[in-house]
């Protein structure tokens, strides 16, 4: 082979080698950028300080709401007992009036006759 032919045959090989080196460098840059993004994402997802603080805030908030629910339940139970006591007292008065003959006694039913 003549030196000119040898030089002309090496030019395409040199172009391919340069292109391959450029591609590898670009690929390495893309991989470095991707690794940096993944590490940043992992740091943001696993930041436990914010998570612990939020859980503590929710715990305090729920404790306050539970105290409110317990208070409301106690008030409702007290009201229910008061109403039931009033009804029982009224029933006792009606029974005593009925026993003494002051209340008219009616019989209900037999509407079809």
Q: Indicate yes or no: pTM above 0.75.
A: no
Q: Which residues contact 103 (CB under 8 A, 6 or more apart)?
A: 94, 97
pLDDT tens over the chain, length 113 residues: 687 787 778 888 888 888 888 888 888 888 888 888 888 888 777 667 777 888 889 999 999 899 999 999 999 999 998 888 888 888 788 778 777 777 666 555 565 55
CA dihedral 96, 98, 99, 102 (to 10 degrees): 100
Q: What angle do CA 55, 57, 61 make, to 5 degrees?
A: 115
């Amino acid at each position: 082979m003549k030196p000119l032919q040898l030089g002309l045959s090496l030019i395409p090989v040199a172009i391919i080698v340069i292109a391959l080196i450029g591609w590898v460098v670009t690929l390495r840059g893309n991989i470095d950028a991707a690794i940096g993004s993944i590490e940043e994402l992992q740091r943001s997802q696993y930041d436990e300080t914010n998570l612990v603080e939020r859980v503590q805030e929710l715990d305090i908030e729920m404790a306050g709401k539970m105290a409110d629910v317990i208070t409301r339940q106690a008030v409702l139970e007290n009201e229910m007992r008061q109403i039931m006591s009033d009804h029982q007292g009224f029933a006792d008065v009606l029974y005593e009036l009925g026993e003494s003959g002051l209340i008219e006694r009616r019989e209900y039913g037999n509407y079809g006759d």
